[in-house]
Structure 1
Amino acid sequence: MDRAHGAMGGHVIMVVAVNGNLTSESTPSATFRPHPHLPTIGMIGVGVMASALVRGIGDAAQKILLSPRGAKNARLLAQRHDAVEVCPDNQAVVEGSEVVFLCVRPDQIDDALSGVTVPEDVVVVSVVAGVSTEQLATILGPGVTVVRATVQVSVSRRAGLTVVSHDHPTVRALFDLLGGTLIVEEGPFDALQVPAAAMSSLLGYLKALTDWAVARGVPPADAERFVISLAQGAVADLDPADPIAEALSHHETPGGVNEFVRTHWLDKRIDPLHEVLDQVLDRLKGPA
């Protein structure tokens, strides 16, 4: 994976489709010394993904400016990070920042940018599912560079690989700090958004295993602890340099119970899963 070097210049707006709240029980990220090459960062809208980004960046940024949108989350983040300040409006965030994350749902983009002047040297990084580069360019006006990105909540731990549709040194350097950057063309980018939509189902599968054990007399805390340990062990066996099929083979004995569950349950449901994933892709792309 290529990594970016050098100072970050210009302005960047990051557009993030999110919906949710940062709870008071959320664990704050570790405190980092300010990074000399990190730009001033702004957030318009402060939901789940924006909060994860703030926690991942932490106090490594010289300054992080938050809009009053998502006031509760903004207040909690400001309490936890000395670098965080809350601005009176969205224009103030843009004017005071070099990197601005626009953290709203796709149907809120027009409202969020209404009356906000975006300079031509702004780079827009969009994590809005289903909104193309061309659509964003129309909204933001000519002369604004647009990069799409798929961000994971694990950026809060600096452990999330972010997929981007174009290589931009400033954007790449920032996402490398948060766990890494995968650069793909816009066509494959659309397809890679779909597996990200299946993560709650993956966790739901683990919950189903736990519920089955509890229904057969295992104490809930013990069932959860054991299933989580199984999942963590399986994930630990994954290596980005090796095919997933190789790790899968390490967890099966020919004729054993792992193979039995896969062949009698999962393999029979792969085609229906792919059909649902195709429907998700069609939904993300919107009407033809």
Structure 2
Amino acid sequence: MKRIGIIGVGEIGRALVEGLRDPAGPTPEVFLSPRGARTSADLSERYEGVHVCADNQQVADRSELVIVAVRRQDRHEALDGLRVDGSKVAVNVMAGVTNDDLRSMLATDTARTTHATPAAPATDATLVRAIPLPSVRERRSVTVTYPSHPAVDSFFEQLGGALPVADEAAFDVFSALTGTLTAHYAYLATLTSWAAGHGIPAPDAEHYVRGLFQAVGRALGDETRSLQQLSADHETPRGNNERIRTTWFDETNAATLSNALDDLINDLRHPPDHRVHP
């Protein structure tokens, strides 16, 4: 697609724009909403073919593929009154917001010509959920999509890969997995703080920890070995790695993580604003 719109220009919106700027080939025009005004203005100044629109409606009108990337709690305010023509494809990247939820918020474009009331029919545009990660900026993000759609899957293939899933239940599992990212960074920060507490200069500790886990990231690129095999290959019996894994990341720790993910997926499937209270 040659015209991409992004409504809600936060970290993911910025990463998408940066990933689409391919110096080796043609790039699509990108239309940004005024939400996240500073980020939108910065991107339009840095990149040719990136435009800041007057409002969200202009983004939808000018684009073939519209990416809805506002925060879940802001969606009603941001999307109120937005009309999306049936010829468009809308990509829903809001965690915990189903396509049915989004469809109910978007009006059909007939509202423009019939002066329809707020109860006007919902849009008949194609809606696809997706989970792009910040690494789309380096074209290294495998993006989960549901349902599979050729144009959307092709769009994300150029940003690192698309992983279509069979249903929304599977999509929610992948969405929950993304909630572990900052816990990983916090884990690395804890290692750094521990080393600094034992007299290592903090910059040296952080430099070493970064290098240590960048090497782990490169090892993950070897998909001929399972994660269990990679773990085993990095351990020796009664060695340092085995000791930390078995004394810290034990069955209790693993169960706590699984329970936290179960709670998260429950919230994704039944967000607080959709729950029925007695």
- TM-score of the alignment, normalized to the shorter chain, above 0.5: yes
- C-alpha distance in structure 2 between counterparts of 1:113 and 1:71, whole Å: 17
TM superposition shift of 1:107: 2.6
Question: In the alignment, what sits opposite 1:246?
Answer: 229
- TM-score for both structures, normalised by structure 2: 0.86
CA contact (8 A) 1:66 1:86 kept: yes
- TM-score for both structures, normalised by structure 1: 0.83
The correspondence for 1:104, drawn from 47, 51, 70, is 70
The correspondence for 1:223, drawn from 193, 205, 216, is 205
Question: In the alignment, what sits opposite 1:206?
Answer: 188
Q: What is the RMSD of the two structures over their aligned residues, measured on CA atoms?
A: 1.5
1:285 maps to 2:269: yes
Structure whose alpha-carbon radius of gyration is higher: 2
Question: In the alignment, what sits opposite 1:257?
Answer: 240
Q: Tell me, what secondary structure is at the counterpart of 2:95?
A: coil
2:175 partner letter: Q
CA contact (8 A) 2:80 2:105 kept: no
2:235 partner letter: E
Map 1:104-143 onto structure 2 (within 5 A).
Answer: 104-140=70-106, 141-143=122-124
TM superposition shift of 1:109: 2.1
- C-alpha distance in structure 2 between counterparts of 1:163 and 1:120, whole Å: 23
Deviates more, 1:114-123 or 1:137-146: 137-146
CA deviation map 1:121-164 (0-9, x unaligned): 22222111111222222223152222111110100111111001
- C-alpha distance in structure 1 between counterparts of 2:224 and 2:142, whole Å: 14
Map 1:15-26 onto structure 2 (within 5 A).
Answer: none
Unaligned runs of 5+ in 1: 1-37
- C-alpha distance in structure 2 between counterparts of 1:62 and 1:134, whole Å: 28
CA deviation map 1:46-104 (0-9, x unaligned): 11110111111126423111122211111110111011111111111111111222221
Question: In the alignment, what sits opposite 2:114?
Answer: none
CA deviation map 1:26-45 (0-9, x unaligned): xxxxxxxxxxxx42111222
TM superposition shift of 1:165: 1.4
Question: In the alignment, what sits opposite 2:157?
Answer: 176
Q: Tell me, what secondary structure is at the counterpart of 2:21?
A: helix
Higher relative contact order (CA 8 A, sep 6+): 1
- C-alpha distance in structure 1 between counterparts of 2:196 and 2:257, whole Å: 27
